[in-house]
Structure 1
Amino acid sequence: MLITTELAEKVRVKRAKNQQTKKAVAEILGIKPQTYTKVENGDYDAPKRIYQAVMSWLVEDL
């Protein structure tokens, strides 16, 4: 599942608003920091589990 640059921007914005480090968010999502960097860069074809974790994290504030 593709994490687009638009989704990556939303991830970066939420991380900035929460004043969290990349490592902290990676731990919340259950992924390695290297993988989280790919998520933040966008255009990443993520496995289903990682995609679901990112989407769940993004919508938990709604």
Structure 2
Amino acid sequence: PSGCGKSTLLRCFNRMNDLIDGVSISGSIYLHDEDIYDREVNVANLRRRIGMVFQKPNP
């Protein structure tokens, strides 16, 4: 269903919300027993493991 937060949830998983100015993030998300919001996590590697498929691709 449209507007239920699917994309927002995916943006949390791949840490794309980190790119939004002024965003405040709290809490933890664990993937394979690793907190993906830990300061030690390599965000580029994380994003390689978690992808997004867009409904209307942009060239």
Same topology, TM > 0.5: no
- Larger C-alpha radius of gyration, 1 or 2? 2
TM-score normalised by the shorter chain: which range applies? under 0.3
TM-score of the two chains, using structure 1 as the length reference = 0.27
Structure having the higher helix fraction is: 1
**RCO comparison, higher one (Cα < 8 Å, 6+):** 1
Taking structure 2 as the reference length, the TM-score comes to 0.28
